[in-house]
Amino acid sequence: MAERDTSRDIDEAASSWTARLDRGPLTPEEDQAFQGWLKGDPRSRGALLRAQSLFMMSESAQALGAHYDPADFREPTASRPRGLSRRAALWAGGAGAAASLAALAVGVPAAGAVTSTRRGEIRLVPLKDGSTVLLNTDSRIRVRYGQNERFVALIRGEAYFSVARDERPFVVEVDGRRLRTRQAGFRVRKLAADPVDLLVQQGRVDVAIPRLTAPTTNLALEGNTRLVMADLVPRPQPITPSVVTRELAWREGKLAFEGESLKEAAEAFARYSDTRIEIPDQALAREPVAGLFAANDPVGFSRAIARVFDARLDQKGDLVVLSRGPASN
């Protein structure tokens, strides 16, 4: 009985295949070997997506230079000195570059002013007290500072608030709910008919929860906590720092997936681009995806998906179709 490959073996093979695919088309023999590897272990597809998303972060395999070694992409071990590994440096460097390109700072808004972003735009809004609001794609806020209160209404979309300490409370109003803090870093999202989604990264945020038959209840959320206000009695959920990082990847112009379906990924990309991803094959639409991708590059994401899931990509203007069926005439 053949010995099963370890996760490290699969990750190394995925990195090697990713580097080879970036250099150009495979020969028939190489393609046969690649397909055999891809179908040989259920972990291979996820490993390849992770490796390809890392290459996308660094723009191309060529950016790694002639001395690229898949071993450099292993997770750091306990014996390795503290500091940035080559993999971490690539992620951090790519993220920093994305942030500098995607975020556009604007002046301090006047009292009662409305600030918004277009689809695909991320905008940094500095406030009078040193706080900032980072607006995600297609979002809108209204700012009103007074003597007794710092007030921001999230009209639609998603925003990350970095609140500086001040004697006045900082209040965010969204969908009729009021969130209050003195100093914190937190994300608030309200998309269409979806419930309000609050994620506290650091500090403390108090949430007023109205009740039909009882006085308003106040919930206190600390760092690494999420609250989705879908139920009459919403309950805070503790989350890990890695989940926080994934949820906030949009601040650096990225989309992070960890097991979401391709359909859900396509819907996420639709928030950032006029290019739409359509997946008529329901089995393909349900396939899970993992990795970090540029939010404004749905075509690049689709190419990676087509390669990993042995699908066909057809692009017609702003429409990208991923399918496994017979080719169209």
Tokens of 64: 């790694």
262-274 b/e (C-beta count within 10 Å ≥ 16 → b): bbebbebbebbbe
Max intra-chain CA distance, the chain: 75
Architecture of the domain spanning 253-323: 3-Layer(bab) Sandwich (3.55)
* 7-23 and 44-57 helices, crossing angle to 10°: 50
| Sequence-ordered strand ranges (E) for the chain | 103-105, 114-116, 122-126, 132-135, 140-145, 150-163, 170-174, 177-181, 184-190, 197-203, 205-209, 217-221, 225-228, 237-238, 254-261, 276-278, 288-294, 312-316, 319-323
What residue has token string 């206000």? 229
Torsion, Cα of 35, 37, 38, 40 (10° steps): 110
Given this model, what pLDDT does residue 59 score? Answer: 40
pTM of the shown model:
0.71
Given this model, what pLDDT does residue 42 score? Answer: 77
**Ramachandran bin of 325, using left for φ above 0, alpha for ψ from -120 to 50, beta for the remaining angles:** beta
Given this model, what pLDDT does residue 76 score? Answer: 41
Tokens of 290: 């993992």
CA–CA separation, 11 and 70 (whole Å): 8
CA–CA separation, 98 and 295 (whole Å): 10
**Start-end ranges of CATH 3.55.50.30 in the chain?**
253-323
Q: State the fold for domain 102-245.
A: Jelly Rolls (2.60.120)
What residue has token string 């017609």? 316
Amino acid at site 168:
R
For 103, other C-beta atoms within 10 Å of its C-beta total: 16
With contact defined as beta carbons under 8 Å apart, do 37 and 13 qualify? yes
Given this model, what pLDDT does residue 30 score? Answer: 86
With contact defined as beta carbons under 8 Å apart, do 237 and 226 qualify? yes
Q: What is the pLDDT along the chain (329 residues), one digit of tens a residue?
A: 456 778 778 888 888 888 777 777 778 888 888 888 888 887 787 777 767 666 654 443 333 333 334 444 333 444 333 443 333 333 333 444 344 344 566 677 776 789 999 999 999 999 989 999 999 999 999 999 999 999 999 999 999 999 999 999 999 999 989 999 999 999 999 998 899 999 999 999 999 877 655 567 789 999 999 999 987 678 899 999 989 999 999 999 999 999 999 999 999 999 999 999 999 999 999 999 988 999 999 999 999 999 999 999 999 999 999 998 654 44
Given this model, what pLDDT does residue 56 score? Answer: 55
Given this model, what pLDDT does residue 159 score? Answer: 98
**Start-end ranges of CATH 2.60.120.1440 in the chain?**
102-245
Element holding 245 (H helix, E strand)? helix 241-247
CA–CA separation, 310 and 322 (whole Å): 10
Q: Three-state SS for 289?
A: strand
DSSP-assigned letter for residue 91: H
Given this model, what pLDDT does residue 326 score? Answer: 58
